[in-house]
Amino acid sequence: MRCLLVVALALVSLVPTFDATPVADLPEADHHFESFAKSYQNSQNRIGLFDNDGCLKSTGKPISKQEADAQLQKARALLTKATQAPNSDVWVITARNEESIQPYLDIPGLNFGVEQGTVIIRANGKKEVLLKVPQVDEIKMKIAAMIRQSAIKKDSNDPDAEEPIRFLPMENSIPLKFHDWDSTSSQDMRHGIEQFIEKHYTDFTITSFAKDKVMIIHNPTINKRTLVEKVLKEKPYDFGFSVGDDIIDEGMHDALNAININQNFFSVVVSRKSDQQTVARHKLSTHEDVYRFFTALYSLPTKVSSQRLLNQG
């Protein structure tokens, strides 16, 4: 799990730079709740876009299992309420792979975008690779051949021995986990991979995390914007919001801002970092604020739900 988090952190460098504002200069979402509420209640087709880490769960300092379970319970309660709202589509979009969204997969009506939204898992369970980053499979195959031809071998006398180098599961980047990061053979292999990428695949870059023994090869042009632009075209949405905590979410915010007709779409950054730059137009401080704010929003009656009650009466 730690390795997958490292992969997500490395993917921060995939995001292009947008015109942005310091978090300190943004209005608190709480101060504009009435605007959110009015737009939500008067809309016919709604969409909510949530980042996971930092928004539906905390990041940073380690927490106990009890705290993690409590966060998960609150996140599931919010997402369940959101998907049960009338004419409401809800997405969790993460830089990480499918393993990271396992705790939410049984929530009816919830959609997912993993690996920066390049891989989609619809509410009906249908999986789709929205964007296949060119050359990833080719690079992976060639690096696998380099590893096989190297002097780095698994200990054949130990049936429980780990692979000296293994690929972590992702579609659109190539994370490599080294069992012994500091060995001469591992260092030589990494150096060889770096030279190979620099010479033959100039669109790709490499990020290394020695503490976690992970090297990641990725294309620095991929971000969440692609998925958001796609889903916004699928229905005539007249209300929506994005919730993200870091630069990796800026493409999502930017795509939502671009269609902000009649001021019914809201981008929200979740951060206490006053100097953090963002294109989001509102802010909340923590994941706890996300639970509170959006649970209150999804608890409001809407024109659609009110009409249903009238029809039932």
Interval 136-191: pLDDT, tens:
999 999 999 999 998 777 665 556 567 899 999 888 989 999 999 999 999 999 99
* pLDDT for 97: 83
Domain segments of the chain: what residues? 2-131+222-312, 136-218
Q: How far apart, in whole angstroms, are the C-alpha atoms of residue 93 and residue 53?
A: 10
Q: What dotted CATH number matches 136-218?
A: 3.90.1070
Superfamily of domain 2-131+222-312: HAD superfamily/HAD-like (3.40.50.1000)
* pLDDT for 14: 42
| pLDDT exceeds 50 at position 6 | no
Residues above pLDDT 70, as percent of the chain: 88
Tens digit of each residue's pLDDT (9 = 90 or more) over 251-286: 999 999 998 766 899 999 999 999 999 999 999 999
Check: CB of residue 162 under 8 Å from CB of residue 155: no
* pLDDT for 118: 92
Q: Which residue has the higher pLDDT, 170 or 290?
A: 290
pLDDT band at 51 (very low <50, low <70, confident <90, very high): very high
Q: How far apart, in whole angstroms, are the C-alpha atoms of residue 238 and residue 260?
A: 9
Helices 225-232 & 250-258 angle (0-180, nearest 10): 30
Q: How far apart, in whole angstroms, are the C-alpha atoms of residue 219 and residue 134?
A: 9
| pLDDT exceeds 90 at position 196 | yes
